[in-house]
Amino acid sequence: MYTSIVTRWIVAFVSSLFITTTVSAQLTPYDAVDPLVGIWVPGNMYPGAAVPYGLTNGSPIHLNDNNDTIMGVSTIVLGGTGCHRGGISAPVVRAEPLWTRPNGTANVVLDAGSEIAHPGYYSHTTHQGEIRHEVVATVHGLIHRIIRTPTKTHAQSPWMIVFDLGRGLLPVDSVDIQSTSNQWDVVVRTGGFCSMVYDVTLFAHTRLSTTPTEVHQWQSSLERGLDAGLAYQIPASLDTVEFSIAISFTDAEGARKNYLAEVQSKQFDELTTVVRQDWEPFLSTIDVRGGTDEDYRKFYTALFRSFQYPSVFADVDGRFRNFNDSIVTGASYVRRTFYDLWGVIWTTFPLQAILDRPRFSDVIKTSLDHPREHSYPTNWEYLGHELFIMGGDPYPLWLRDMLQKRFVTEIGDHFSRILVPSTQTTKQRTVQYLYLQHGYVPYDGNREGWVPGSVANTLEYAMADDALADISALVADSQYVRLFQYRSIFHRSLFDAETKCFRPKSQNDVFLENFDIDAREGDNPWEGSGGPGFKEGSARDYRWYPTYDIDWLITRLGGLKAASDSLRSDLARIRWSPHNQPQFMMPYLFTYMPGREQLTHHIVDSTITHSFALTRRGWPGNDDLGSTSSWLIWSMCGLYPAMDGTATYRICRPRFESITMYCYDTLN
């Protein structure tokens, strides 16, 4: 079923390096996955039914974080982000043991301990076990199976299934409903993500497995958005009903085609078998032996999270809407969506590129087509919209890595037509004009008096320029090599000899006074925004950010011993864990310091043991579309992609006695 990658990597360190193994009767990788792990803050993941790279996700949408009151089960939801409650989730489905004529204000409470989740499948009970709600996924669709076990007082009463079009994580602007018999075509217009407002239109084709005895439809305006939905009355004699749905972001025809191809002829139990078969090849791309039972479960739960995004955006017929809102037909690849490049380029994309290269070509082709449609590189793409939500310029770092590793071999005029012009405008790099004018981004450079993330942006622009220098050499466009090499050291002007950190600086070349290198708040007004000049981190975190310039940094810190001592101190002071991308690489920096590599082994090993747990709060930070989970996969394998321009991997102690990575063979 699989083809071993060119380097079939079996790790075997001397026995003294290995942790004690206490393996129980080993589960299959599929059975080892627990989608409920990490679903509460700070992991922010969703446990619901989803297939590899699937567009739909049938998860409970909680009224508030970490409680048991839910609006219903989502159709689509974006998990693991800091704004996990700021993306599209409507329409939602729920059930009630008695018929009423509801509106969208109702909620249901999960029965304690009732949730069950496996890859592709999710279920819970409500109303003291009277309602069991199960859901199983396809790429574009879901089938809900709802079973009522009525109490004696309810046995003769009809019950209902609610298709709530207005509830969810975002307000809904408008709803259109067309019905025939037991089928409904729905158009929901909503939009936005994490305070960014964009128009998104979701098309859905739905079907109830029985003809309801009554359908109640409601629609009314709210202060924000619309309250709308459908309630289906189910006769008391019927205790099991299936409600199926398929969606499209192209048009109603796309939703119907997706339904016909994936859902119409399927039964619930049949699909539960199919989704297991969908997931097993992906979860078998890495075979691990000889670790503890807990590590085995952590590993495959993380691998499961690493294959969920970017999601399929194209319909089954290949059509999709591009950045210009035009419907594209005849594309040579399957269009994807949800590109958090600030997060996934460090760990998730390097992992998918190795383990699932044929499908990863769709990720590459989508990402190369994005800037051809709107003339600037991708930063954070969301359902056909560019959010620019995290700033920086991560695209060149990703593209360099793909070129150096030969996952991308040809980019045509992409460099001269897209990448070079994007460094001269504020569309991609919002404060690029300040960066070029001063050789850094000053903290007081705009009319509002404060430039958020001034140091972080300087570091990220310089890293991107280093990547662009390498790309210009790779594509034989040598006229730009020196220019981008020159810009790639702009960050050095922000290095403060007093604190030995990068420090915000004014337009007048004066460092910010009262500078606290431990501050993690104050750059923006919201909690966790980062210390002044930084994004979601402190000066201690960002001190180690420019790994491509590590030799210079070691020298400025006073040499190998001083740099090693400083790194150890920073890791202890910030109580390091891989809770956000700027911190991912920190423990691996000891591998750049000869004679101190064992510190990487010790810190990574301790982190895997103590920062990751098989609980609902078990992940140390936002999973950010699989990036934290992929960090765990790499680290448990004893490898880490450096992303420093060398196309190499750093090494640490693996957690298993043998590890074999396979490349998925699409012929099977």
Which among 599, 621, 625, 601 has a CA at the least distance from the CA of 611? 621
Query: What would the pLDDT profile of 367-410 be if each residue is shown by its tens digit?
Result: 999 999 988 888 899 999 888 777 789 999 999 999 999 999 88
- Average pLDDT of the chain? 90
**pLDDT of the residue at 457:** 94
Q: Which positions ≥6 away from 145 have C-beta within 8 Å?
A: 133, 134, 135, 136, 240, 241, 242, 268
Strands 116-118 vs 108-109: parallel, antiparallel or unpaired: unpaired
Query: What would the pLDDT profile of 406-445 be if each residue is shown by its tens digit?
Result: 999 889 889 989 999 988 877 778 888 999 999 999 999 7
**pLDDT of the residue at 167:** 76
- Least confident span in 163-172, 212-221, 542-551: 163-172
**pLDDT of the residue at 16:** 32
- Least confident span in 4-8, 199-203, 639-643: 4-8
Predicted TM-score (pTM) of the model is 0.94
Place 155 in a pLDDT band, splitting at 50, 70 and 90: very high
For the segment 159-178, the average pLDDT, to the nearest whole number, is 88
For the segment 559-564, the average pLDDT, to the nearest whole number, is 97
Rounded distance, CA 287 to CA 467, Å? 33
So what CATH class is 34-283? Answer: mainly beta
Rounded distance, CA 638 to CA 481, Å? 34
Question: DSSP 3-state assignment of 31?
Answer: helix
**pLDDT of the residue at 181:** 81
Query: What would the pLDDT profile of 284-328 be if each residue is shown by its tens digit?
Result: 999 999 999 999 999 999 999 999 999 999 999 999 999 999 999
Question: DSSP 3-state assignment of 532?
Answer: coil
Rounded distance, CA 280 to CA 307, Å? 12
Q: List the 658-664 sheet strands across, edge first.
A: 2-4, 658-664, 286-289
Query: What would the two tokens of residue 297 be?
Result: 């479960």
**pLDDT of the residue at 30:** 97
DSSP state letters, 32-81:
H--TTTT-STTT----SB--TT-S--B-EEESSTTSSEEEEE-SS---SS
Query: What would the pLDDT profile of 81-128 be if each residue is shown by its tens digit?
Result: 877 666 777 789 999 999 998 876 788 999 999 999 999 999 999 999
Percent of the chain exceeding pLDDT 70 equals: 94
* Most confident segment among 36-45, 97-106, 128-137: 128-137
One-letter amino acid of 238: L
Which among 92, 126, 132 has a CA at the least distance from the CA of 240? 132
pLDDT at 45 over 60: yes
387 class by beta-carbon count within 10 Å (0-12 exposed, 13-18 middle, 19+ buried): buried
Q: Which positions ≥6 away from 21 have C-beta within 8 Å?
A: 290, 291, 292, 657
Calculate the alpha carbon distances from 262 to 144, 200, 268, 332 in Å. Answer: 14, 23, 12, 21
Name the one residue in this structure whose structure tokens are 């993500």: 193
Question: DSSP 3-state assignment of 232?
Answer: strand
For the segment 555-584, the average pLDDT, to the nearest whole number, is 93
Rounded distance, CA 85 to CA 538, Å? 25
